[in-house]
Structure 1
């Protein structure tokens, strides 16, 4: 006769499936969490680089045009200069160091809108695209 402290051999066999299922679930959950965190980090790095490239292109574009317009400064360029300065200020205030900034997408859309406004004032198509080879502004 089996002692009261020892598990019944049939209970061990019958409960093995449930035990293995639970252990497998826990192992899968831990591995999945780790893989998901790594995948999320890689995706975040890619998206951050893409946004940084876009914002940097806007800044370089704006500074270049601002300098060109200042060389030929007159009253007809004053509105263009003000809008370019506004775009530069928006880009410089963009919180590129804070990935948890809750209005990141809203600010990015405002910057994109201002960039389109600048392009319209300068009579330049605002065809901005990002490719694996880099960024391209079509003029």
Structure 2
């Protein structure tokens, strides 16, 4: 049996064990929680980013298609449509895809959505974008 030194008391170690284990448990839990939080945050960010990218991509494809369809039409009515399409395409091209910390990301996204609705109105197309669960096709 070991002899206790005068500076450390056997009872102090017993009494302080709960506090020591609490501190160690906190440190282990904090490290594990930080790791899990980073993994979950990365997964959520990837999913949310993919949704935004898909939405913006569909707007761009829509605008480019209509721009090609209207490129040979030169009357005043169609030139207004073309200007609206050019404006939407310009907004999409300026959108900061590479910078997730961009502070006006949501604001710019809302502006693009609004411009898309305006373009749909000018083209006399319903702007309600849905993916039908019964059929595997996109409906506008």
Which runs of 5 or more structure 1 residues have no equivalent in the other structure?
Answer: none
Would you say the 8 A contact 1:126–1:137 is kept in 2? no
Q: Distance between the aligned counterparts of 1:129 and 1:103, measured in 2?
A: 26
- Look up the match of 2:6: 4
TM-score normalised to the size of structure 2? Answer: 0.89
Shift of 1:2: 4.0
Shift of 1:75: 1.7
- Look up the match of 1:80: 81
Q: Distance between the aligned counterparts of 1:33 and 1:119, measured in 2?
A: 45
Which runs of 5 or more structure 2 residues have no equivalent in the other structure?
Answer: none
Q: Distance between the aligned counterparts of 1:130 and 1:100, measured in 2?
A: 29
Shift of 1:70: 1.4
Given the alignment of the two structures, is residue 112 of structure 1 paired with residue 109 of structure 2, yes or no?
no
Shift of 1:72: 3.1
Describe the superposition over 1:82-120 as per-residue Cα deviations: whole angstroms up to 9, x where unpaired.
000000000001010111111100100000000000011
Cα RMSD (Å): 2.0
Q: Distance between the aligned counterparts of 1:137 and 1:93, measured in 2?
A: 26
Query: Larger relative CO (CA 8 A, sep 6+): 1 or 2?
Result: 1
- Look up the match of 1:95: 96
